[in-house]
Amino acid sequence: MADLSVNICGIDFKNPIIPASGVFGYGREYEEFYPLSKLGGIATKGTTGKLRTGNPAPRIAETPSGMLNSVGLQNPGIDAFIEKELPNLLHKDTVILANIAGATAEECAEVAGKLNDTDVHMIELNISCPNVKQGGAAFGTSCQMAEQVTKAVRNATKKPLVVKLSPNVTSITDIAKAVESAGADAVSLINTLLGMRIDIKTRRPVLRNNVGGLSGGAIFPIAVRMVWQVSNAVKIPIIGMGGVSSGEDAIELMLAGASAVQVGMACFTDPYAPIRIINEMNDFLDSQNIDTVREIVGTVQPW
């Protein structure tokens, strides 16, 4: 078997596959299918300063080769997460990335500060959230706001900090360089693309929030392109994601420059998807006589 272990920001992962934030909850339901210790890591449900009930339904809809969602960061709040969910996760023999979000830079920093006193391994900062102090524009859509929120969180914690980038921008490389300069230890990308569908009979959007985030296979080529672009723009590690549904997809993202890969929507259609992807990656590496998955990172050869 090939060596699938990777190291990101000084943290050892037994393999590069991480269920993405928002699809895996806190792992309790998936644990009925397989031990969570088989995973490289888990990115937890996005956590905010206070309890959030999320957006009104309907907030999920299928689309060709993908899914629209506007769940609205439903979560119990950071205190409940630390008290009820994190202790259980920390006993699962896998790396825990606590995904956090907030409506202000101060809220993000407060959440990170509380996690700093826990044994969580890494913090993943979601900058796709609206900044209420800037008229609702997402933190991740401007270099200035991305840098501001990253600095605030960096000052609040000594934990390895991964910043999750939004693809809904003109130049994702500029955003990546901004968060790198502000103290990010790594970046993860891509988050969902903004999309919309309309019910032609009712003439209303299929989501109550009108628009939502598009995920799934439809966005995979965009993820590959953006991971490749960012890998050529920053020196910090990249965790790739966006439509990954097979071991071959994960290999492709790593060739583009990702050191690890998150798996999202595939978990909904196949609860075993992360485990299957790990096995498929191993089979591919063995078939190519590649000893370690680390050998392939960033080795794409552009024309």
Which residues are designated catalytic? 129
> Quick check: helix, strand or coil at residue 135?
coil
The residue with tokens 């994190």 is: 86
The residue with tokens 């990170």 is: 112
Long-range contacts of 23-26 (CB under 8 A, 24+ apart): 23/263, 23/264, 23/265, 23/267, 23/268, 24/267, 26/85, 26/88, 26/89
Q: Which residues contact 133 (CB under 8 A, 6 or more apart)?
A: 104, 105
DSSP secondary-structure letter at 129?
Answer: S
Side-chain-side CA neighbours of 213 within 13 Å: the count stands at: 21
Cβ count within 10 A of residue 283: 14
- 257 sits in the region (left: phi over 0; alpha: psi -120 to 50; else beta) called left
Q: What angle do CA 33, 36, 41 make, to 5 degrees?
A: 135
Query: Is 188 in contact with 124 (CB distance < 8 Å)?
Result: yes
Q: CA torsion, points 231, 232, 233, 237, in degrees to nearest 10?
A: 30
193-195 β-sheet, strand order: 60-63, 66-69, 212-215, 193-195
**Alpha-carbon distances, residue 82 vs 87, 136, 171 (angstroms):** 7, 28, 35
